[in-house]
Amino acid sequence: MFPKLTLILGGASSGKSAWAEGFVDLAGKPPVYLATARALDGEMRAKIDRHRQSRGEDWRTVEEPLDAVRALFDVTGEETVLFDCATLWLTNHLLEGSDLEAECDALIDALRRCAPNVVVVSNEVGHGIVPEAALSRRFRDAQGVLNTQLAAAADLVIFITAGLPMVLKGRLPELPA
């Protein structure tokens, strides 16, 4: 059985999004890509375009940099959501001056209550040095708290490094070949 909530963690460019896309395809339901990135420059637009092309036309894309809660409730239980990624979603809220604790609590609640199975991609940012700037430290700390909340709520937690998965919590489902 495909897990209700899966968390895919990893460093930047670790292969977590590609692995998560393949995993979502195994659910056997129409995939929905909940995109949180903002194309603020040409480099980010190109990255978004590459991701979209790699997924193919079978994916429905919902671009929602802030209101992931509403977007999750707009998806039916007949679909599977790839929420990519919680890190950019949190960054967007931090830069908007949102109440991060309230936004994270609302997200966790929505992930528990929404109809579809959801795979959340998030960056593990706690393996580096302590950032010099206060904003960077605030982000790192908030991301660590969010990842901890996501992991606690998830049925399955997978850490990706060098494109390779390591199960941290739960078991990979046995899916038909």
Residue 46, CA distances (Å) to 7, 34, 43, 49, 53 in order? 26, 18, 5, 5, 11
Annotated active-site residue 51? The verdict is: yes
Backbone φ/ψ region at 63: left (φ over 0), alpha (ψ -120 to 50), beta: beta
Model confidence, pTM: 0.93
**pLDDT digits over 43-94, tens only?**
888 888 888 888 878 999 999 999 999 999 999 999 999 999 999 999 999 9
**Statement: residue 177 has pLDDT above 60:** no
Choosing from 16, 51, 55, 93, the catalytic residue is 51
State how beta strands 80-84 and 60-63 pair. unpaired
| CATH class in words for 24-169 | alpha beta
Identify the residue with better confidence: 23 or 127. 23
What SS3 class is residue 158?
A: strand
**Statement: residue 175 has pLDDT above 70:** no
